[in-house]
Amino acid sequence: MTTGRTPQQDGDLRHEQQPERAAGIPAVLSSTEVVLRRAGPRGLRELARVNQFDGFDCPSCAWADPDGDRSFAEFCENGAKAVADAADRHRADPAFFAAHTVDDLLAHSDRWLNDAGRLTTPMLRRAGADHLTPVTWEHTEQLVAEHLGATTADRAVFYTSGRASNEAAFLYQLWARSLGTNNLPDCSNMCHESSGTALSPTIGIGKGTVTLRDLEVADVIVVLGQNPGTNAPRMLSALQACVEGGGTIVAVNPMNEVGLSRFVNPQDFTSPTRAGRALVGGGTPLAQEHLQVRIGGDLALLTGVQKALVEAGHVDKAFVADRTSGFEQLRDHLAAQSWEPLEAASGIGRDRMQWLAELIGSTRRVVWCWAMGLTQHEHAVGTIRQLANLALLRGAIGVEGGGLCPVRGHSNVQGDRTVGVWDRPSDALLDGMETGVGGGWTAPREPGHDVVASIEAAARGEVDVLVALGGNLLQASPDTDATTAALGSVHLAVHITTKLNRGHLLTGETALLLPCLSRTEADDTEHGRQFVTVESSMGVVSRSTGRSRPASGDLRSEPAIVARLAAASLGPSTPVAWRDLAADLDRVRDLIEASIDGFDDYNARVRQNGGFALPNNARDGDFSALPGGRAVLTTYPLPQAAPPTEQDTLTLMTVRSHDQFNTTVYGEDDRYRGVHGDRRVVFLSAADAVARGLADGQRVDVTSHAPDGQRTIHGLRVVLHDLPTGDCAAYFPEANPLVPLSSTAIDSNTPTSKSVPVTISPA
Ligand SMILES: Nc1nc2c(c(=O)[nH]1)N[C@H]1C(S)=C(S)[C@@H](COP(=O)(O)OP(=O)(O)OC[C@H]3O[C@@H](n4cnc5c(=O)[nH]c(N)nc54)[C@H](O)[C@@H]3O)O[C@H]1N2
Ligand SMILES: Nc1nc2c(c(=O)[nH]1)N[C@H]1C(S)=C(S)[C@@H](COP(=O)(O)OP(=O)(O)OC[C@H]3O[C@@H](n4cnc5c(=O)[nH]c(N)nc54)[C@H](O)[C@@H]3O)O[C@H]1N2
Ligand SMILES: [Mo]
């Protein structure tokens, strides 16, 4: 069977001691090496433009930019690698595709496919053909229009990855909705969906409430289920500022992630005194406390901390009485909990929970940060609501130095949702859009498919056309074998993309690869140089201008591709002047302003350096849209502990390495975890290895267990690591074949990629 699994290749695994500090000179060297190898000297020039006011937004993560002075190098190692990847000087051109059959391409590693370089020309993979062949843009538009014309809108799916700009994403969802569907799954469904679902009904907004300054002046920052050293390195500067101001950082994580323990800020090397301190002192110690929670144990931990907080009398009574509802129920629920099950489920002692309650009980300046370690679990939504409880019980929301901070992944994933990429849109969003578009345009009101529902629909043969605005739906999704089979049956797949990935070769009987400009490249139209806009994790909208020469003369901007496909497939039945819009993105922003709250004076305000902040009711302490005008405290029962199984089951989390951006693998190393040369590994505690008679480096088979069957990956190598007994880890996306499609978080439907029951046996 053809599968989207990464081919097995024997890497040369070296397992070394974990380093003691993050970033510093090794980070500078590692990024420079990748930049020069992929992009050449031009890459270094691009780096000078990252996150500058007149430059482009870093295509890596969504961490916010400083308001005021921007240092010369507002980027991190991973940003540098992402820029190099986009500015790649290699080309996957028609000659490359003529030289490689589809089967030949599939036999290569993900990294090799990515390293083929930038796409230069629209390419067609005809059903059953050996090779991809070049096609004209006109032909691609015709083909898409034909396929969409031959089916109904509910059998078309429009996926978005979070790198798309506000302008591209807005036009894209308008196209899908103009056809008549809300089938708008996006990477957020696999990412922070649980956070939005948890927060909207409790604090009235599905976003974080803090600014960058809040982190810098906080007394306490608690970082749960997040690995900032690897995944949001610029956040380390904010943590450093917090520590230097006397703040305490607490890490809640099954792994002791290096990026959270000690940080050498590469930007310190621009100042001689700071550089001296960094070199001699070995950097700034960050997380002073590490709570080594068991995988999935955060609900029990946060319940225990609330219990301790209430028992110690640290509740802000006035705030709770005036601004929240549900306190009595919560108090009774907490009183009814006994400590033993909370300790057993979290792996954290009662004394440590009481310690954390004391720490946060003496100040309102507490920021709660979290990411995938909380969102990708069955009980994620309930867990995140307990975290919101903790902020509300202390009145520590919408205050200087305090609040909630879900750290977003993709650089514009938050903006894409704001401008309408949403499978379950609110009526308010659709009403606004109908007014904004005008001309009697109506939006479909039936909820659409999210990621998991789209794959399930495809498996039932109910998806004819799949369009993807970036991303790698096939490899980012769970259950790689089942997902490959499902997505393979779609009649036509349309990928708007900068580079080749495995998903492009397996999704759809027929597939189109439509090559687009990257963030770094100039978009010059008859209206002059265009810029796009993006929203950071902290709700700040700013502009991004590419300046370099496009990788090929035949590329189009993402908004232009979307607008042309929309024009071709909708015909005259639309009040939207698609072609004009894409050439003048100010007009798209006018349409966003007319459709969506908070974008008043969009074109003027986004031209100011640093952009503008979107409205945030919770940041302003305004809960008037919630029942009774109050924020909602909620209870969530501790799930029954799973009965012991005969097999010796472990809980597996799938995590990122230091040398990848999601499914794009830059290298085989994970410097921060001491792993080099091979990503096909499984991290195991020494106790669990001994119990199974396994040694470091040994090859094992890992099998996951779900009600609908077993899934196995063969030949992973054991890496001994400091983990709680009963927990293990492997890399995303290589381990995705183990994650069952049917296992998702309650209410948010996010795949449970961080809690997969597995057994491990010698290969
Ligand atoms: N370099 C780089 N940067 C990236 C990305 C990338 O792939 N590479 N991806 C981007 C994207 S889209 C996202 S969403 C973010 C992801 O950023 P993260 O969420 O930091 O990414 P993960 O590697 O998935 O790490 C999850 C962390 O949660 C911990 N964890 C797992 N299970 C649990 C649990 O049950 N409880 C607790 N408390 N912790 C747990 C893991 O040990 C790990 O440290 O990063 C973004 N930035
Ligand atoms: N097991 C497991 N699975 C997971 C996760 C996990 O932790 N564990 N994390 C989940 C999360 S948090 C996320 S966000 C998803 C990520 O899911 P996606 O966003 O779908 O995946 P990416 O790997 O970020 O997509 C990379 C591809 O995007 C395309 N691309 C790159 N740059 C551009 C550009 O500028 N424009 C366009 N149009 N295309 C571009 C290239 O083809 C590249 O190969 O994965 C999820 N899957
Ligand atoms: Mo993500």
pLDDT tens-digit series, residues 322-352: 999 999 999 999 999 999 999 999 999 999 9
Q: Residue 44 pLDDT > 60, yes or no? A: yes
| Residue 290: Cβ within 10 Å count | 17
DSSP assignment, residue 254? Answer: S
In order of 255, 297, 315, 578, the CA distances from 639 in angstroms are 23, 11, 26, 51
CA of 409 to the centre of ligand 2 (A): 10
Cα 477 to middle of ligand 2, angstroms: 9
Q: What is the pLDDT of residue 176?
A: 98
Ligand nearest the Cα of residue 187 is 2
Q: Which ligand is nearest to the CA of 87?
A: 2
Coil, strand or helix at 431:
helix
Work out the mean pLDDT of the chain and round it to a whole number: 93
Which ligand is nearest the CA of 726, by number? 1
pLDDT at 512 over 80: yes
Asked whether 673 and 751 are in contact (CB, 8 A), the reply is: no
pLDDT over 50 at 26, yes or no = yes
| Residue 37: CB atoms within 10 Å | 16
* pLDDT level of residue 200 (50, 70, 90 thresholds): very high
- The percentage of the chain sitting over the pLDDT mark of 90, rounded to a whole number, equals 80
pLDDT higher than threshold 50 for residue 437:
yes
The minimum-distance atom of ligand 2 relative to the CA of 59 is 35
Burial of 606 (0-12, 13-18, 19+ CB in 10 A): buried
- What separation in Å is there between the alpha carbon of 422 and the centre of ligand 3? 15
Cα–Cα distance measured from residue 497 to residue 529, given in angstroms and rounded to the nearest whole number: 21
Is there an atom of ligand 2 within 6 Å of 497 CB? yes
Atom nearest to 735 CA in ligand 2: 1
In the predicted structure, residue 69 carries a pLDDT above the cut 60: no
* C-alpha of residue 268 to centroid of ligand 2, in Å: 31
Residue length of the chain: 763
Whether the CB of 518 sits within 6 Å of ligand 2: yes
Query: Which of 149, 731, 187, 195 has its CA nearest to residue 454?
Result: 187
Q: Is the pLDDT of residue 53 over 80?
A: no
Least Cα distance to 582 among 56, 165, 160, 119 occurs for 165
pLDDT at 636 over 60: yes
Task: Give the tokens for residue 448.
Answer: 């659409």
**Comparing C-alpha atoms, which of 587, 580, 586, 550 is closest to residue 566?**
580
Cβ-count burial of 297 within 10 angstroms (0-12 exposed, 13-18 middle, 19+ buried)? buried
State yes or no: pLDDT of 307 exceeds 80: yes
User: Which residue's alpha carbon is nearest to atom 18 within ligand 1?
Assistant: 226
Amino acid at 164: A
**Is residue 563's pLDDT more than 80?**
yes
Phi-psi region of 313 (alpha: psi -120 to 50; beta: other; left: phi over 0): left
Q: What is the band of 79 on the pLDDT scale with cuts at 50, 70, 90?
A: confident
**What atom of ligand 1 comes closest to residue 77's alpha carbon?**
1
Q: Residue 631: helix, strand or coil by DSSP? A: strand
Cβ(383)–Cβ(636) below 8 Å: yes
Mean pLDDT for the stretch of residues 117-146:
98
Nearest ligand by distance to the CA of 683: 1
**Tens of pLDDT, residues 368-426:** 999 999 999 999 999 999 999 999 999 999 999 999 999 999 999 999 999 999 999 99
How many Å lie between the centroid of ligand 2 and the Cα of residue 659?
14
C-alpha closest to that of 502 among 11, 108, 130, 188? 108
Domains and CATH numbers, the chain: 118-190+412-610 (3.40.50.740), 193-406 (3.40.228.10), 642-762 (2.40.40.20)
Q: Is 190 in the pocket of ligand 2 (CB under 6 A)?
A: yes
Longest dimension (CA), the chain: 72
Q: Whose CA is nearest to atom 10 of ligand 1?
A: 409
Q: Looking at this protein, which amino acid is placed at residue 209?
A: T
698 CB burial (10 A radius; 0-12, 13-18, 19+): middle
Q: Give, for ligand 2, the residue of 408, 498, 659, 679 to mutate: max count of ligand atoms closer than 8 Å to Cβ.
A: 498
Q: How far is the CA of 254 from the centre of ligand 1 (A)?
A: 12
Distance of CA 585 from the midpoint of ligand 1 (Å): 34
Which residue's C-alpha comes closest to atom 13 of ligand 1? 409
Tokens for 530? Answer: 């265009």
pLDDT, tens digit (0-9, with 9 covering 90-100), for 645-703: 667 999 999 999 988 999 999 889 998 899 999 999 999 999 999 999 999 999 999 99
Tell me the CA–centroid distance for residue 517 and ligand 2, in Å: 17
Which residue is closest in CA terms to ligand 1's atom 39?
225
Select from 657, 663, 728, 755 the residue to mutate for testing ligand 2; criterion: most ligand atoms less than 8 Å from CB.
663
Q: Any idea which ligand is nearest the CA of 190?
A: 2
Please tell me the distance from the alpha carbon of residue 691 to that of residue 684, in angstroms, as a whole number: 11
Q: Are strands 540-544 and 403-406 parallel, antiparallel or unpaired?
A: unpaired
Round to whole Å and give the CA distance between 162 and 144.
Answer: 23
Tell me the per-residue pLDDT of 243-255, one tens digit each, with 9 for 90 and over: 999 999 999 999 9
In this structure, which residue's CA is closest to atom 32 in ligand 2? Answer: 498
DSSP state of 142: H
pLDDT tens digits, residue range 271-289?
555 655 555 556 677 767 9
Q: Measured from the CB, is residue 520 less than 6 Å from ligand 2?
A: no
Looking at ligand 2, which atom is closest to the CA of residue 664?
A: 23
Ligand 1 pocket by C-beta < 6 Å: which residues?
60-61, 78, 191, 224-227, 230-232, 252-255, 257, 293, 295-296, 298, 371-373, 409-410, 653, 655-656, 660-662, 754
Q: Is it the case that residue 74 has pLDDT exceeding 70?
A: no
Residue pair 19/511 in contact by the 8 Å Cβ criterion: no
**Tokens in use for 583?**
């050439």
Among protein residues, the one with the nearest Cα to ligand 2's atom 47 is 476
Mean pLDDT of 15-32: 76
Beta-sheet pairing, 248-252 with 289-291? parallel
Name the band, by pLDDT with cuts 50, 70 and 90, for residue 484. very high
Give 72's pLDDT tier (boundaries 50, 70, 90): very low
Q: Is the CB of 161 under 6 A from ligand 2?
A: yes
* Percent residues over pLDDT 70 in the chain: 95
Mean pLDDT of 430-455: 97
> Is 191 close to ligand 2, i.e. is its CB under 6 Å away?
yes
Nearest CA to ligand 1 atom 4: 231
Q: What is the reported pLDDT for 62?
A: 81
Ligand 3 geometric centre to CA of 537 (Å): 12
What's the gap in Å between 472 CA and the centre of ligand 2?
A: 5
CB 92 within 8 A of CB 500: yes
544 pLDDT band, cuts 50/70/90, is: very high
Place of tokens 């954290």: 348
pTM greater than 0.85 (yes/no): yes
CA atoms within 13 A on the CB side of 117: 18
Q: What count of Cα atoms within 13 Å lies in the side-chain half-sphere of residue 331?
A: 14
Residue 70 has pLDDT above 80, yes or no: no
